[in-house]
Amino acid sequence: MKKVLTCIVFISSIIIQNSCKYKETVIRTDMKEELPLIENSIRNVIGWAKDKDFKLLYSVIANDSGYLEVGPDGRVTKGIDDFRKNEEFWGDPGFKAVKFEIRDLKITLSQSGTVAWFYGVLDDINEWKGEPASWFNTRWTGVLEKRKGSWIIVQMHFSFPNE
């Protein structure tokens, strides 16, 4: 009886150990597949402006009261309703997004695979009524959450380095 019990415990431990290894492998593979999707959301939160594609913009940011954004001037946008107040400016024909570039982008994915955070340096080249209205060497950080299969930005912070 003791040998049978020992054998059952031994076999059970092997099964549990192997199932844990399998799960870990699956998660790691999924994480690698998630990184391009996360980067796509990060790029779209700026890239939407070129064509004034508001549908794209609102597909990559949290459309709820938890959304948070801090601008380089210190202005804090709290919630989607506060964020939407900028639509008039961005939709104005006087605002023209020219191009953007992200350098040194570093994306980290949580162990659960449902949260990611990033850091990069952003050049966001724009015009307002024909005059330059650009951000250069802007430090940019943010947090994304996977919701209903999509990577959604829930928080962003922009700042200019002291020069």
Burial 58-72 (b: 16+ CB within 10 A, else e): eebbbeeeebbbbee
Closest listed residue to residue 110, CA positions, set 22, 19, 27, 40: 27
> Is the predicted pLDDT of residue 20 greater than 70, yes or no?
no
Give the start-to-end residue ranges of the domains of the chain.
Answer: 2-159
**Local confidence band at 23 (pLDDT 50, 70, 90 cut-offs):** very low
pLDDT in tens, 91-150: 999 999 999 999 999 999 999 999 999 999 999 999 999 999 999 999 999 999 999 999
Report CA-CA distances (Å) from 162 to 67, 77, 98, 127, 139: 27, 23, 25, 24, 11
At residue 49, φ and ψ (nearest 5 deg) are -70, -25
User: Which of residues 95 and 10 earns the better pLDDT score?
Assistant: 95
pLDDT in the model for residue 162 = 83
Mean pLDDT of 7-31: 50
DSSP summary character for residue 110: -
Domain 2-159 has CATH 3.40.50.1860: no
pLDDT reported for residue 29: 45
Say whether pTM exceeds 0.85.
no
C-alpha count within 13 angstroms, C-beta hemisphere, residue 141: 6
Encode pLDDT of 36-56 as tens digits.
999 999 999 999 999 999 999
Percent of the chain with pLDDT over 90: 77
User: pLDDT for 63-91, tens place per residue?
Assistant: 999 999 999 999 999 999 999 999 999 99
